Amino acid sequence: MSTQPMPHDPHRFSRATLQPLAKELGLVRARVHEFCGPARRSLAAVLMGQTTGPVLWIFAGWQAERLFPDGLHGFTDPGRVLFAQARRTEDMLWTMEEALRSGAIALIFADLVDIPAMTPVRRLHLAAEQGALVAGQAGRLAPLGIILTPHIGGAAGIESRWHIRPTPSQDPHLAHTYPEPRWQLERLRARLAPPAQWILKKSGATTAL
């Protein structure tokens, strides 16, 4: 398992256009990325903890499974999160598109229940680019869009895809305790970076590879 930063990795945050995710990893702003896997909402919480300002969380009103605000404690202030309930997947994508285009909110999530087609993803990218121009004129960060998808994801045209799942501690002394969370984070796809995987650990208020 690779745990070392890779050379010439465009997802390292050496440029102002990158939003830090964890240690040397980052996400390109003014684009839309995909989080998938059983712990995708945990990765969203990790990302929230790396940002400031309001967050928009768009969720499916017809699904019982959704983000629990109190679970964000330890990552970020739940009061930052604005929740938008949608009746259809099309409404979720439309809401995200409009929010990205406005440039008013720097971090926008859509907690989808299925995989979007390529055309809506392209529209989201265009909206994010337009929102970046608006945000830049106002002195704000360019918007960053994240779609959360079930299982191993698979949205076509996405900037990057990240899969995350819980993983047990390897320390035998922690077998009868409540250890800090650990996850296996995999970069399944990125435009200019190879697949890779890391162990992501949370210790107190910090999260690190």
Q: What is the pLDDT of residues 143-185, one digit of tens each?
A: 999 999 999 999 999 999 999 999 987 665 555 555 678 999 9
Nearest Cα residue to 150 out of 38, 55, 62: 38
Which residues lie below 8 Å from residue 61, measured CB to CB, with a gap of 6+?
85, 86, 87
d(CA 94, CA 201): 34
Question: What are residue 84's DSSP bridge partners?
Answer: 58
For residue range 18-31, list pLDDT tens digits in order.
Answer: 899 987 899 999 99
Contact 172, 140 (CB under 8 A): no
154 within some domain: yes
- Our count of domains for the chain comes to 1
d(CA 209, CA 24): 9
Alpha helices for 29-117 (secondary structure H): 40-49, 89-102
pLDDT at 1: 35
201 within some domain: no
The pair of three-digit structure tokens given for residue 58, joined into one six-digit string: 């768009």
For residue range 25-66, list pLDDT tens digits in order.
Answer: 999 999 999 999 999 999 999 999 999 999 999 999 998 887
The pLDDT mean for the chain works out to 87
80 within some domain: yes
181 within some domain: no
Whether the predicted pLDDT of 135 surpasses 70: yes
d(CA 12, CA 41): 22
User: Which of 3 and 167 is assigned the larger pLDDT?
Assistant: 167
10 within some domain: no
Which residues lie below 8 Å from residue 172, measured CB to CB, with a gap of 6+?
none
Q: Tell me, what CATH number does 108's domain have?
A: 3.40.50.300
The amino acid sitting at 162 is W
29 within some domain: yes
Contact 132, 30 (CB under 8 A): yes
Alpha helices for the chain (secondary structure H): 40-49, 89-102, 118-137
* Domain limits for position 156: 18-161
pLDDT at 208: 54
149 within some domain: yes
d(CA 32, CA 29): 8
99 within some domain: yes
Nearest Cα residue to 11 out of 199, 161, 164, 165: 161
Confidence of residue 85 (pLDDT cuts 50, 70, 90): very high
